[in-house]
């Protein structure tokens, strides 16, 4: 069973065919739901994200992030997990097979960039970059500069 209680059936393709896996994953991500989910998430969190970043720059010690950023990141991970779980269920894949296939697909020049981006999408720093990039492209949002001050020599020692 998957995390959502859906029964996972037999895999719909040969597990040794990494290219078939990558093609199916690309098709799943390009069907519009993935991008729509990311856009909706970013739109609904950009104002709070901007406020968190501004507060960090004004009143937080260097290197300390606002807890709200981490909470938004956790929601992003949940969204990503949900989107990938839909793929796993549809394709009859278990999580371990998915991870193994992603690792194999990364070794192929044809697939590595997509898989790398997908796997890094749930890394905190990549998430922060995604949100900052989104806000920079959003015409209705003032640009946010995330440039924490460098540590002084006293802070390093």
Q: Is the pLDDT of residue 58 over 70?
A: yes
Confidence of residue 117 (pLDDT cuts 50, 70, 90): low
- Kindly report the pTM of this predicted structure: 0.68
Structure tokens at 28: 């799943």
Higher model confidence: residue 67 or residue 116?
67
pLDDT in tens, 84-98: 898 999 999 998 888
How do the domains of the chain map onto residue ranges? 18-146
Direct distance between the N- and C-terminal alpha carbons of the chain, in angstroms, rounded to an integer? 51
Cα gap 97→88, rounded to integer Å: 9
Residue 50 sits at the vertex; the CA angle it makes with 65 and 55, to the nearest 5 degrees, is 50
Mean pLDDT, rounded, for 80-109 = 86
pLDDT in tens, 11-37: 888 888 888 888 888 888 888 887 888
């Amino acid at each position: 069973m998957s995390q959502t209680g859906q029964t996972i059936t037999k895999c719909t393709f040969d597990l040794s065919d990494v290219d078939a896996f990558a093609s199916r994953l690309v098709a799943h991500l390009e069907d519009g739901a993935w991008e729509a989910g990311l856009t909706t998430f970013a739109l609904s969190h950009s104002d709070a994200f901007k406020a968190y970043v501004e507060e960090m720059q004004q009143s937080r010690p260097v290197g300390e992030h606002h807890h709200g950023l981490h909470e938004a990141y956790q929601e992003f991970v949940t969204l990503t997990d949900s989107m990938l779980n839909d793929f796993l269920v549809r394709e009859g894949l278990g999580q371990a097979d998915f991870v193994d296939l992603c690792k194999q697909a990364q070794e192929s020049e044809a697939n590595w960039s997509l898989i790398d981006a997908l796997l890094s999408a749930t890394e905190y720093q990549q998430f922060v970059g995604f949100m900052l990039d989104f806000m920079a492209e959003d015409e209705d949002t003032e640009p946010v500069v995330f440039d924490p001050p460098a540590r002084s020599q006293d802070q390093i020692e």
